[in-house]
Structure 1
Amino acid sequence: MKIALISTEKLPVPAIRGGAIQIYLNSVASIIAKKHDVTVISIQDPELQEEELRNDVKYVRFPEIHYVEMIKTYIGEQKFDVIHLCNRPNWIQPFSEAVPQTKFVLSVHNEMFSYEKMTDAEGQQCVQKVSKIVTVSDFIGSTITNRFPEAKNITRTVYSGVDLHQFQPSWSVVGKKTRSMVRNELDLNGKKVVLFVGRLSKVKGPHLLLQAIPKIIEKHPDLMMVFIGSKWFGDDNLNNYVRHLYTLGAIFEKHVTFIKFVKPQNIPQLFTMSDLFVCSSQWQEPLARVHYEAMAAGLPLITSNRGGNPEVIEEGKNGYVIHDFENPEAYAKTINLLLDDSGKRTSLGKYGRKKVENDFSWNRVAENLLSVYEEVNTQ
């Protein structure tokens, strides 16, 4: 098959600027390209060529300002069998007009079928034009099929994944060395490290974790809460919310470390050096990919009961779900529970690692996507 994978207009592929969709596309493309002709289309970036071949994948990049129009022209020339478009349902109409014989798969990574983003007519038109819709969680699938019941027969959940080689648990040979090295570099020896990775945005809830610190250090004065992220991908400039976080953090300067934007290739070692991972999202998160990364690194998970996040949690086996997700004390209670018991942390971490090995490797994601492509190509 000749397959095109089309990214959004926000960030380039490979994910040199970060981005869950960009990591997803780059990871599955190289696996699928072992058997098929794969082209990945994304926006241009000063650090990347306009066109290149990597790992048998052809990368084509267009300027953001003319992105949709240039893609229309390109796909019209190339005659792809299947086009996989990420997260832009309103682009299906112009693209399908350009290549009416091509089969379209739409992957939905956020609530793109909400009333704020499209009309009923636009949604119905998209559903009619696509052969299959794949979603990153059952939650996201429900946001589509609840509004457009006619999409039920073509909608399928294909969970995202993680690089099992990049993310190493602390009990592995590589993990032990990495954990020791990074803890030495960051002066974290003897600390119990609680990790947050994500945008420093109110909807991600880092302020709640800072507010939970007093209750945690009552029992665990050796706590260090590490925040990795910035206000936006690759943007370390401050806004009022980030300044507020830094002010809160300064109150507990012996227990808080802020690390600004980290390039994706450097993220895995920061997971490995930690003891547990917390996702405190306050919005209806589609299903944050940091959950897969934390499990791959052998960390127990604590996550909020928002959106698709709970779908990867087996309560008490690989982590816990916080139902009172706006309450700092709820996070403090569960964090303390895990900091109290190193054996429990290890057992949850090992269960989580086994879970991603079985269900969430990039090979598994690529297999699932390929089965979708093959199905629609034979229709």
Structure 2
Amino acid sequence: MTRPRIAFVTPGAFPLPSPNGGSVERVVEKLVSRLVPTIDATIYGRTGRSLSRSGMLNGARCIRYPAADKRKYTARVQSALKRLTPDIIEVENRPMYVLRLKRKRPRSRIWLHLHSSTFITGKAITRSNLERSFALAERIIVNSEFLREDVIRRVPEAAGKVSVVHPGVDIERFPSQYTPEGAARRQALRAARGWEGRSVVMFIGRLIPIKGVHHILRILPRLIEQHPSVLLVIVGGAFYGSKRTTAYTRKLHRMGAKFRKHVLFVPYVPHTEVPDWFIAADIAVVPSANREAFGLVNVEAMSSGLPVVATRAGGMKEIIEDGVTGYLVSPENVELELEQRLLELMRCDDLRLLMGLKSRERVENAFTWDHSAQRWLALLRESGFRHV
């Protein structure tokens, strides 16, 4: 039986594979690798250092084009699609690409997969173009119920075609600290870093205001006063794959300068190294603002056996079970509640253990890439491909 041909058009911002950044590209890479036993997949993206113009990536063909303006990129993809004649084209996170591809291929079946709200705001696309792109897309996939509601609020007419496919985590790459192998790895890393006897609170992500790192630094003096062994580790930078600074990152460093024994800034690290940072920590903290559609770091931390303290915002409410796998704090009272919940977890080993085990269990039951692939394939079956 012939497998359906599916083309995945990435934004062209980062190459695939993308170890140094690009959460959209990472989702495509991980999800498509679970789909290729069932579909014939081709991924279009950007060239990268030491990457060939074409090749195989986890069973999918990967066609890469040089970095250029987005119109040239979509024009090259358009030419390639004429030769491929896919059954479905999935556009990743760029509604404007739907318009450009549909203009040249009016009969093509195009899905739009939104990974954030960034490119559906008025800064990125006009309302008329957003409405047209949603009307032309056969299906709109979003990564959370939060984003689904946002899409419908902006374009109510699209409600019937919006479906949720949560992203996942590779549980083999992010082992739990409560397995024998994970415990040994954790002990070795903490010894090498001099973290024995410390209560390690871990933030991993981009250092931009929406991620809320300033909130943690503001409460740090009170955390130190009440729990002197606390160590706040901040892993990340302002840009994917870069150590460039911004006014905001420099502000964060100034805030932490008075507490050098209690703050560690780690510049941006490749995603391949993220598991070793989470497994060596005690608690993950994700104080993002309301625009956070999902937040892969939440499920990565939970897979590692960490309780997560996050804001009750965006898609994080769908991931973290408040009081079970961690805590959700109010965005309106974020600093006071962060302080209370972090102290509670740092003071109680049994509570951290229980929540960490529940975190891992929740990921295994709902947030693996295999779960994501099964949800995606269910949508394909609903679209007429009954035998996948």
Contact 2:289–2:331 under 8 Å retained in 1: no
**Structure 1 residues 325, 223: closer, same or farther in 2, change over 3 A?**
farther
Of the candidates 230, 240, 253, which is equivalent to residue 233 of structure 1?
A: 240
Q: Structure 2 matches for 1:147-186, cutoff 5 A?
A: 147-186=154-193
The code of the aligned residue for 1:311 comes to E
Contact 2:145–2:315 under 8 Å retained in 1: yes
SS in 1 for 2:106: coil
Contact 2:14–2:21 under 8 Å retained in 1: yes
**Structure 1 residues 128, 241: closer, same or farther in 2, change over 3 A?**
closer
Partner of 2:227 in structure 1? 220
Is 2:112 aligned against 1:106?
Answer: yes
String of CA shifts for 1:191-229, please: whole Å, max 9, x gaps: 110000111112211111111111112221111110000
Q: Structure 2 matches for 1:23-172, cutoff 5 A?
A: 23-65=26-68, 66-111=72-117, 112-172=119-179
**Structure 1 residues 325, 181: closer, same or farther in 2, change over 3 A?**
farther
Of the candidates 8, 24, 35, which is equivalent to residue 11 of structure 2?
A: 8
Contact 1:50–1:62 under 8 Å retained in 2: yes
Partner of 2:347 in structure 1? 340
Is 2:285 aligned against 1:263?
Answer: no
> By how many angstroms is 1:167 displaced?
0.4
**How many angstroms apart in 1 are the aligned matches of 2:171 and 2:251?**
36
Partner of 1:206 in structure 2? 213
Contact 1:103–1:376 under 8 Å retained in 2: no
Contact 2:313–2:331 under 8 Å retained in 1: no
Contact 1:287–1:307 under 8 Å retained in 2: yes
Contact 1:103–1:377 under 8 Å retained in 2: no
TM-score (ref. length: structure 1) = 0.96
**How many angstroms apart in 2 are the aligned matches of 1:377 and 1:75?**
21
Contact 2:301–2:308 under 8 Å retained in 1: yes
Structure 2 unaligned blocks of 5 or more: none
**How many angstroms apart in 1 are the aligned matches of 2:197 and 2:180?**
20
String of CA shifts for 1:78-123, please: whole Å, max 9, x gaps: 1001111110011112212333333211111111332333333212
**How many angstroms apart in 2 are the aligned matches of 1:282 and 1:55?**
34
**Structure 1 residues 247, 115: closer, same or farther in 2, change over 3 A?**
closer
The code of the aligned residue for 2:27 comes to Y
Of the candidates 224, 230, 254, which is equivalent to residue 261 of structure 2?
A: 254
Partner of 1:293 in structure 2? 300
Is 2:355 aligned against 1:352?
Answer: no
String of CA shifts for 1:309-356, please: whole Å, max 9, x gaps: 222121101111110456433211110011111111111111111111
The code of the aligned residue for 1:83 comes to I
**How many angstroms apart in 2 are the aligned matches of 1:152 and 1:231?**
35
The code of the aligned residue for 2:167 comes to S
> By how many angstroms is 1:276 displaced?
0.6
Contact 2:311–2:334 under 8 Å retained in 1: no
Contact 1:318–1:351 under 8 Å retained in 2: yes
**How many angstroms apart in 2 are the aligned matches of 1:116 and 1:378?**
37
> By how many angstroms is 1:377 displaced?
4.4
SS in 2 for 1:22: helix
The code of the aligned residue for 2:112 comes to L
> By how many angstroms is 1:139 displaced?
1.3
**How many angstroms apart in 2 are the aligned matches of 1:310 and 1:103?**
33
TM-score (ref. length: structure 2) = 0.94
SS in 2 for 1:84: strand
SS in 2 for 1:73: helix
Contact 2:47–2:65 under 8 Å retained in 1: yes
**Structure 1 residues 378, 57: closer, same or farther in 2, change over 3 A?**
closer
**Structure 1 residues 123, 374: closer, same or farther in 2, change over 3 A?**
same
String of CA shifts for 1:244-286, please: whole Å, max 9, x gaps: 2112212111111111111111101110011010001135211
SS in 1 for 2:202: strand
The code of the aligned residue for 2:257 comes to A
**How many angstroms apart in 1 are the aligned matches of 2:101 and 2:116?**
20
Contact 2:201–2:284 under 8 Å retained in 1: yes
